[in-house]
Amino acid sequence: MSETFTPPAAPPKAPATTTKHPPNWLKIVATAVLLVVLLLLPVIVGNGGVAYLKLAQYILIGAVGGIGLTLLVGQAGQLSLAHPFFLLVGAVGYAVLAGDPEESDDLVGLGLPPLVAVIGAIVLCGLVGLAFAPVAGRLRGIYLGVASLSLVFLGLWLGQSLDMFSGGTSSGRNAPVFALFGFEFANSTPAPTIAGVAIQKQQRLWYLFLAFALISYFLARGAVNSRIGRSWRAVRDNEAAATSMGVHVTRVKAGAFVISSAFAGLAGVMTALWLDLVKPDENEFTGTYSLTVAIAFLAVVIIGGLGSVPGAVIGAALVFGLQQFFLLGSQQFGWFADAAFGGFSAVVVSAFVYGAAIVLVILFEPGGMAAIGRRLLARRRSPDVPSTDDGGRTTPREDRS
């Protein structure tokens, strides 16, 4: 068995070559347009299109969690299936920290300001990740993957038994309303408007999620391009070599786990706000914090191209977006209407699509969406510049023993 869980050959991004080229105007313009579209999305879909806004919010949840997992799996080479557990810890942590102490006698709520609660939930997830680090640091590859699976089962059990925190499986508990400096992310009358569109709860949450996602994105990009990212990749490629170059392997592995858990914690907070409810799963294979979600996040990372931060965002759009898209279709346009149970429901179809996407990506494009994107960008460059980019396989991974 190989040294660590080694993802398919996919360097995190086309190394330094991009900076030698003149600024890629297409890329800059595309980014600007994308940002404007994202900022104006509530206006574009209008007040009638809240369902689309919810869909887009869900993609951002997947993106934040997926970015965290791609750092761990793709950059640091540590396979983990524990993401749903950290989502659950994040969601419950936020509900407990921000929850109204007076709400119910059976539920614990500390009544902290929501922003403090969000940060607290993220820190809590990081600490839980740190607690698992001694195990994670000792194990490699598939052993770590299955070991991390135990956290999902543990989370299921804890969620069911500690109902003073989680609210229990039957009713759950309300997600505390997020508020920032007195501005509540809830419906209000009168609501402020942008171009005639009332900015109500869902619109406000969209901007909140967008901010969370952008912060996550840039933090992750920063980490990948910095010393931290280099140490992750060194550990992924060859632990022995990394050690001899002065990398503290156990500490780096633990750090990757902590950071990835913290991202998952934020995604968990977002999940609580999105569902407006914190409710632990009833079983291990379906639900918000279940094995299905563990696989979905892994699919995000694989489809995106292991280790690529932009890839994880695209992967999230495919995996999380498609599922919501099919659900939306079934609710609004009567798709899959003849499929009551045991038919091609939205969940079944989206599972087929991303299951097939995993298979196809690994068969034909191990670098995932990120490699496809890089190839498209490379093609646009002037042909007289010999491109070293062959679709994410620029650096042959022959450094492995």
Provide the binding-site residues for other proteins, judged by CB under 8 A: 1-3, 5-9, 79, 134-135, 138-143, 146-147, 149-150, 153-154, 156-157, 160-161, 239-240, 244, 283-286, 291, 295, 298-299, 302, 341-345, 348, 351-352, 354-359, 362-363, 366, 401
Closer CB to other proteins, 165 or 185, in the complex: 165
Provide the minimum distance between the beta carbon of 143 and other proteins in the complex, in angstroms, as a whole number: 6
Six token digits for residue 50: 């809240």
Closer CB to other proteins, 16 or 363, in the complex: 363
Measuring CA to CA, how many Å separate 399 from each of 1, 176, 304, 305, 347?
A: 16, 50, 24, 20, 41
Q: What angle do CA 361, 219, 10 make, to 5 degrees?
A: 25
Closer CB to other proteins, 217 or 344, in the complex: 344
Question: How many angstroms separate the CA atoms of 265 and 122, rounded?
Answer: 5
Provide the minimum distance between the beta carbon of 290 and other proteins in the complex, in angstroms, as a whole number: 10
* Closest C-alpha to 100, from 88, 87, 122, 117: 117
Question: How many angstroms separate the CA atoms of 191 and 109, rounded?
Answer: 29
Question: How many angstroms separate the CA atoms of 165 and 92, rounded?
Answer: 7
Provide the minimum distance between the beta carbon of 366 and other proteins in the complex, in angstroms, as a whole number: 6
Closer CB to other proteins, 6 or 17, in the complex: 6
* Closest C-alpha to 128, from 110, 99, 154, 160: 154
Closer CB to other proteins, 9 or 177, in the complex: 9
Q: Are 271 and 288 in contact (CB under 8 A)?
A: yes
Query: What secondary structure does DSSP assign to 337-376, as a single string?
Result: TT-SSSS--HHHHHHHHHHHHHHHHHHH-TTHHHHHHHHH
Provide the minimum distance between the beta carbon of 209 and other proteins in the complex, in angstroms, as a whole number: 27
Provide the minimum distance between the beta carbon of 229 and other proteins in the complex, in angstroms, as a whole number: 20
Closer CB to other proteins, 68 or 159, in the complex: 159
Question: How many angstroms separate the CA atoms of 53 and 39, rounded?
Answer: 12
Question: How many angstroms separate the CA atoms of 168 and 165, rounded?
Answer: 8
Q: What burial class does residue 386 get, using C-beta atoms within 10 Å of its C-beta: 0-12 exposed, 13-18 middle, 19+ buried?
A: exposed
- Count of C-beta atoms within a 10 Å radius of residue 3: 17
Closer CB to other proteins, 195 or 337, in the complex: 337
Closer CB to other proteins, 210 or 349, in the complex: 349
